[in-house]
Structure 1
Amino acid sequence: MTDTIDATTLPRWSVSDVHDSLDARTFVDAMEQLRAGADRAVAAFDEHDIRATAPRTATADDGAAADAAIAAYNDVAAQARVLWSYIYATVSTDSRDERAQAALSELESIDADVTPLLARLADWVRAIHGGDGGPAALEAVSELAADHAGPLLRLAERSTHQMSEREENLYAELAQTGPSAWSRLQRDITSQLAADVRFPDGTNERLPFPAVRGLASHSDPAIRRAALSAELEACPTVALPCAAALNAIKGDANAVNRRRGWASPLDASLFANAVSRSTFDAMQSAVVGSLPDFRRWMRTKARLHSTPTGNGLHWADLMAPAPVASGEITWDEGIDIVRGAFSSYGPQLGAIVDRALDERWIDAEPRDGKQGGAFCMPFVGGRSLVLLNWSGSAESAQTTAHELGHAYHNTTLSERTALQRRLPMALAETASIFCETLVVEEGLSRLEGAERLALLDVDLVGANQVVVDIHSRFLFETAVFERRAKRTLGVREFDELMLAAQAEAYGDGLDQDTAHPHMWLVKSHYYGSHYYNWPYTYGLLFGLGLFARYREDPERFRSGYETLLSRAGMDTAEELGAAFELDVTSEGFWEASIDVLRGRIADYEHLAGEFIAAESERP
């Protein structure tokens, strides 16, 4: 084949400072301590009768009960977070490690005892009332309740959408052999999947699936098409078990949401993300209104890649670098870009890059058995673990900025308790998108000509994914939930729904003959959460709104930004927006963020037109 990523230059994370191995005495002891902690937490809830009860006004005894329950939950949840991240550091990079898989299963069984405690706390808090309702009444008699006012209020609201205590306990236990097991099956199957790529130089190479997908951003169009062909050939070989997993997971969600009294899975998702329906509808309206602009951008990008006029962009070119400058960068070059942009905001943010490297937070090498995509998970204190699948593209540098933005966010949460740092996904994307925007804006402030066009291309490729592709995922998941309420779906039907969703979202911006029917199989988000897609769009557009506030008054913004991030698990989306005088319930706010992207599209079209005209004049 042609250029391969030199794995020897890419970092791998290390967690050996916490435990030498899964067989180490310290790890075994930590698991035993967690089990004991879970038992103590359950005992504390039982002792203080933290569960649904007759409504009453809060007393001093209730304050003591609240203190005991909150402290017990926070303690065991904090222990579980560290152990989960430690174990998942192996599972996510080597799904064939059966010892790690067994440890993860053991941890999930402990979690099945802890998870129902939140349901019990929710019912109890709602019952303890006074003039202002449960959480407010408890604040007067419990210092811990006062510190956790936001999370407790959300729990009290959640109580109206819970099953009985026995049913919630049973569901928490059955989830380990139900949706959780199906999710793991999809993750393991796709992480161990390999595909045969027939390269244009005549060579054939069998590559791990994440590496094949990474070739989507290769500068050579022939290699991108070879990788897409290999991907489309490999997906059907695992489609049947993945379809079974998706049917099981979405069927389970429909059943439990119905039992909990949700009108739809989307309503449950909005509540879980602390986003109101009015806010969501305002955002969606702006998204749909922006689709013609993104389709026009895709057609311009197609012209850059010499696609015949009128055909739209080929799927293999969606993630392609603009053919105007080198689209390949080394790991060191990518890190320098991220470090420079972060440092332009402030030294604390810039320092997170070197800290992540020095303390070995990052695992960047694509390899067999490793999970695809990218993520960041909190670990010990303010430390995170960042998984990447580095492909040597500018898009990879943007992904690195995104995940390190999550890592920075985690540092602001290091002093928060487990209850305070239960982040809704929509709000968890704030820092990551803001950090991506820093990288883009820093580059746009100094680049011109072909280099500016190349950077705009990287940025708009990402925005197109978050606005247009994620809209297609939203449409797909909506259709799946509706049909799954009546029956199971087959592989072909999943494929057809995926193509229909892409056609509605991408329209004539995409060459529909090249659309990807198997994207439902590729994206693990469908298997881990429900409506995991739209929160990314929220994060992008909210992040752009925050960046506008930063540009208006950098010093004032910096003085409140870390506090905002640290409160992402404590306030609603509307409350966090109001902290920076942003009305997220207004469509005008979302349109203003979309207008930033429209401006970049116009800039792109102008520069692309100049490049295409210059190319046409070449002899």
Structure 2
Amino acid sequence: MTITEPANPLPRWSVADIHESFDSRSFSDAKERSTADVERLIALFDELNIRATEQRSLTGADGTAADRAISEFNRVSDDLDLLHAYVYATVSTDSRNTQAQSLMSEINMVGASMRPLLARLAEWVKSLGADELAAVSVEARDHIGPLSRFAERATHQMSEVEEHLYAELSTTGSGAWGRLQSDVTSQLTTEVDLPDGPATLPMPAVRGLATDPDPAVRQASYNAEIAAWPTIEVPVAAAMNAIKGEANVVNRRRNWTSPLDASCFANSVSTATFEAMQSAVSASLPDFRRWMQVKAQLHGHAPDRGLPWWDLVAPLPMAAGDVSWDQGLTIVRKAFSEFSPGLAGLVDRAVNEQWIDAEPRDGKQGGAFCMPFGGDRSLVMLNWSGSAESAQTTAHELGHAYHNTTLAGRTALQRRLPMALAETASIFCETLVIEAGLAHLDGDERLALLDIDLQGTNQVVVDIHSRFLFETEVFARRQRRTLSARELSEMMTDAQLAAYGNGIDQSTAHPYMWLLKPHYYGSHFYNWPYTYGLLFGLGLFARYQDDPERFRSGYDTLLSRAGMDTAEELGQTFGLDVTDEAFWTASLDVVRTRIADYERLAAPHIN
């Protein structure tokens, strides 16, 4: 394979309509205004005594205080979020830009001053009562869901002084270590020994070769990864130790029984719901292992050895060739149009208004994400690899962008989405693309599409289960001591053995997945919410198929309330009991049906 530039350059996003550059007057004014607004907001909270206080009967003055505090917090948050997103648009795509890195650090410091205000608001609401405040304040009434969660959160807070100190120190602690992981991984390049000659590539491009149709290219990219990651393992292991060590201390001082309990609360998911999902996931692992063994045979491997790691996301030998950018957009747009014109129109809007940055390049973060960018606009980062899987990723991230359009009318406090619920629209949009293809395909074309779907599901169920096992063990061991890079790698392969079992060739397991995944270096137990989103999305899709018109009429409202209701409340909106393991089993039964279909279509090729 020869690495060549695409005939038509892949899109890059533009944020110039907000500010022309970091040196523009409008940007410096916005930065100065946000800094001053945060200081004024702190002064307002002091003036209104928004902090833990004595219980009392509320008056109109308390309602006025709530109105002022909540509305100003929302306004200042919106401005600061837009400023952060503007700078992060450069940091995430060019980590070598020192000016952007410096500005990001400044803005993070300002943001750190905001975080203690949420802790103070939580203590105030707990003291006075969310329902009682709602009776005297319009703003409190409009924010009753978030405020009720804040009152509950207050039970798990340190003192006001400690929370303020932690917010400041985290910018030079976990925040800085997370930035280090992102910087060193995004700037790593390595030589890949390709069939037609060696090529030096940035790591996002190397990882993109995992979907190349040539097995020699896939194995070469895997070999290059395994050789390259150890060159940066020491600083990244230090980042892991610092972040998890800090989390253990803070969780203990906030009276959390475990980091997982803190994660469930942060995601508005009850422990009962989480355990029901995990039980169903564990029961499904043998089905996924059987699928991997069938896929291994389609790639010419012995079933008893399992699937080599470099073929986990490989296209089938009988699959169609590369997918161009325009073809990928057409696939996504057509599937979205079968749900609604508004969803289909979002694809063209994202392209025409330059929301998307799709090109892999040196200094750019790996993976993909979507972030709000003022009003109902988003920025969508991809690392397009020319595969059908890339088209699925595009559908996923545009699903987030659609979710953001439904949140445009909500306030900053109402838009604080927990991860588990933030994945609802993205998974639903991926499902639309898969179902649109399955509706008219048969034979090898159907098999190839099922392969794309199941390899994605395998990642979200099986691989993320391995990440959950790994992170659980990291937190436990980090309570006692620091962990070496070698120990982290051994823990990673142990977790992969427990999750993948004989589905993969364990001699090819990937020991450095802990190093390259940014998910470990930000929110804790960041990974399992993807599984929640996938299986909840499949449950929602079943409701859509049962009664499309009724579903459409309530879908946007459900999305817009994802920052206001609990996971259980959102499920009840469509008659789904997410505390019942049977719900999760039913979603996984959809996957089992697809695995059975895959096995049927694969049989002639194997036999």
For the aligned pair, the TM-score class normalised by the smaller chain equals over 0.9
Q: Does 1:494 align with 2:488?
A: yes
Q: Which residue number in structure 1 is paired with residue 499 of structure 2?
A: 505
Q: What do the CA deviations read for 1:377-407 (whole angstroms, capped 9, x no partner)?
A: 0001000000000000000000000000000
Closer, same or farther: CA 60–369 of 1 in aligned 2, 3 Å: same
Contact 2:234 2:485 in 1 (8 A): yes
Contact 1:382 1:413 in 2 (8 A): yes
Q: Which residue number in structure 2 is paired with residue 131 of structure 1?
A: none
Contact 1:327 1:394 in 2 (8 A): no
Residue type at the aligned position of 2:395 = A
Contact 1:63 1:141 in 2 (8 A): yes
The gaps in structure 2 that reach 5 residues or longer are none
Contact 1:139 1:149 in 2 (8 A): yes
Q: What do the CA deviations read for 1:9-51 (whole angstroms, capped 9, x no partner)?
A: 3100000010000111000000011011101111110010000
Residue type at the aligned position of 2:363 = G
Which secondary structure state, in structure 2, belongs to the residue aligned with residue 198 of structure 1?
A: strand
Q: Does 1:390 align with 2:414?
A: no
* 1:274-423 equivalent positions in 2, closer than 5 A: 274-423=268-417
Given the alignment, which residue of 507, 519, 522 partners 2:516? 522
- 2:474, 2:45 → 1: CA distance? 39
* 1:426-465 equivalent positions in 2, closer than 5 A: 426-465=420-459
Q: What do the CA deviations read for 1:522-547 (whole angstroms, capped 9, x no partner)?
A: 10110011000100000000000000
* 1:525-604 equivalent positions in 2, closer than 5 A: 525-604=519-598
Q: Which residue number in structure 2 is paired with residue 114 of structure 1?
A: 114
* 1:20-99 equivalent positions in 2, closer than 5 A: 20-99=20-99
Residue type at the aligned position of 1:182 = W
Q: Which residue number in structure 2 is paired with residue 148 of structure 1?
A: 143
- 1:561, 1:410 → 2: CA distance? 13
Q: What do the CA deviations read for 1:250-300 (whole angstroms, capped 9, x no partner)?
A: 000000000000000000000000000000000000000000000000000
Which secondary structure state, in structure 2, belongs to the residue aligned with residue 589 of structure 1?
A: helix
Q: CA deviation at 1:234?
A: 0.4
- 2:580, 2:58 → 1: CA distance? 37
Contact 2:251 2:258 in 1 (8 A): yes
Which secondary structure state, in structure 2, belongs to the residue aligned with residue 211 of structure 1?
A: helix
Closer, same or farther: CA 603–34 of 1 in aligned 2, 3 Å: same
Q: Which residue number in structure 1 is paired with residue 195 of structure 2?
A: 200
Which secondary structure state, in structure 2, belongs to the residue aligned with residue 177 of structure 1?
A: coil
Which secondary structure state, in structure 1, belongs to the residue aligned with residue 96 of structure 2?
A: coil
Contact 2:316 2:451 in 1 (8 A): yes
Given the alignment, which residue of 214, 217, 222 partners 2:208? 214
The TM-score normalised by the length of structure 2 is: 0.99
Which secondary structure state, in structure 2, belongs to the residue aligned with residue 345 of structure 1?
A: coil
Closer, same or farther: CA 4–302 of 1 in aligned 2, 3 Å: farther
The TM-score normalised by the length of structure 1 is: 0.97
- 1:410, 1:140 → 2: CA distance? 30
- 2:57, 2:326 → 1: CA distance? 61
Q: What do the CA deviations read for 1:123-161 (whole angstroms, capped 9, x no partner)?
A: 000000xxxxx1111111000000000000000000000
Contact 1:7 1:365 in 2 (8 A): no
- 1:173, 1:48 → 2: CA distance? 23
Which secondary structure state, in structure 2, belongs to the residue aligned with residue 89 of structure 1?
A: helix
Residue type at the aligned position of 2:424 = T
Contact 2:10 2:325 in 1 (8 A): yes
Given the alignment, which residue of 130, 138, 143 partners 1:135? 130
Q: CA deviation at 1:610?
A: 2.0
- 1:13, 1:25 → 2: CA distance? 22
- 2:7, 2:463 → 1: CA distance? 30
- 2:302, 2:273 → 1: CA distance? 40
Q: CA deviation at 1:3?
A: 4.8
The gaps in structure 1 that reach 5 residues or longer are 129-133, 614-619
Q: Which residue number in structure 2 is paired with residue 123 of structure 1?
A: 123
Q: Which residue number in structure 2 is paired with residue 616 of structure 1?
A: none
Q: What do the CA deviations read for 1:88-146 (whole angstroms, capped 9, x no partner)?
A: 00000000001100110110111111111000000000000xxxxx1111111000000
Contact 1:279 1:584 in 2 (8 A): yes
* Greater Cα offset, 322-331 or 573-582: 322-331
- 1:457, 1:55 → 2: CA distance? 59
Q: CA deviation at 1:60?
A: 1.2
Closer, same or farther: CA 253–173 of 1 in aligned 2, 3 Å: same
Residue type at the aligned position of 1:153 = S
- 2:96, 2:606 → 1: CA distance? 48
Q: Does 1:225 align with 2:219?
A: yes
- 1:59, 1:428 → 2: CA distance? 37
Which secondary structure state, in structure 1, belongs to the residue aligned with residue 136 of structure 2?
A: coil
Contact 2:294 2:303 in 1 (8 A): no
Q: Does 1:257 align with 2:257?
A: no
* 1:267-278 equivalent positions in 2, closer than 5 A: 267-278=261-272
- 1:57, 1:173 → 2: CA distance? 35
Contact 1:5 1:391 in 2 (8 A): no
Contact 2:309 2:510 in 1 (8 A): yes
- 2:446, 2:510 → 1: CA distance? 30
Q: What do the CA deviations read for 1:500-535 (whole angstroms, capped 9, x no partner)?
A: 000000000010000000000010110011000100
Q: Does 1:171 align with 2:166?
A: yes
Q: CA deviation at 1:328?
A: 1.5
- 1:12, 1:363 → 2: CA distance? 4
Question: Sequence identity, in percent?
Answer: 67
Superposition CA RMSD, Å: 0.8
Residue type at the aligned position of 2:403 = H
Q: Which residue number in structure 2 is paired with residue 475 of structure 1?
A: 469
Q: CA deviation at 1:612?
A: 2.6
Q: Which residue number in structure 1 is paired with residue 103 of structure 2?
A: 103
Which secondary structure state, in structure 1, belongs to the residue aligned with residue 371 of structure 2?
A: strand
Q: What do the CA deviations read for 1:347-406 (whole angstroms, capped 9, x no partner)?
A: 000000000000000000000000000000000100000000000000000000000000
Contact 1:59 1:141 in 2 (8 A): yes
Which secondary structure state, in structure 1, belongs to the residue aligned with residue 383 of structure 2?
A: coil
- 1:35, 1:71 → 2: CA distance? 18
Corresponding pairs, count: 607
- 2:107, 2:117 → 1: CA distance? 16
Q: What do the CA deviations read for 1:588-611 (whole angstroms, capped 9, x no partner)?
A: 000000000000000001101123
Which secondary structure state, in structure 2, belongs to the residue aligned with residue 376 of structure 1?
A: strand
Q: Which residue number in structure 2 is paired with residue 11 of structure 1?
A: 11
Q: Which residue number in structure 2 is paired with residue 190 of structure 1?
A: 185
Q: Which residue number in structure 1 is paired with residue 242 of structure 2?
A: 248
Residue type at the aligned position of 2:407 = L
Q: CA deviation at 1:212?
A: 0.2
- 2:133, 2:360 → 1: CA distance? 50
Residue type at the aligned position of 1:171 = Y
- 1:503, 1:220 → 2: CA distance? 27
Which secondary structure state, in structure 2, belongs to the residue aligned with residue 560 of structure 1?
A: helix
Which secondary structure state, in structure 2, belongs to the residue aligned with residue 557 of structure 1?
A: helix
Q: CA deviation at 1:214?
A: 0.4
Contact 2:91 2:100 in 1 (8 A): yes
Contact 1:218 1:327 in 2 (8 A): no
Residue type at the aligned position of 1:49 = N
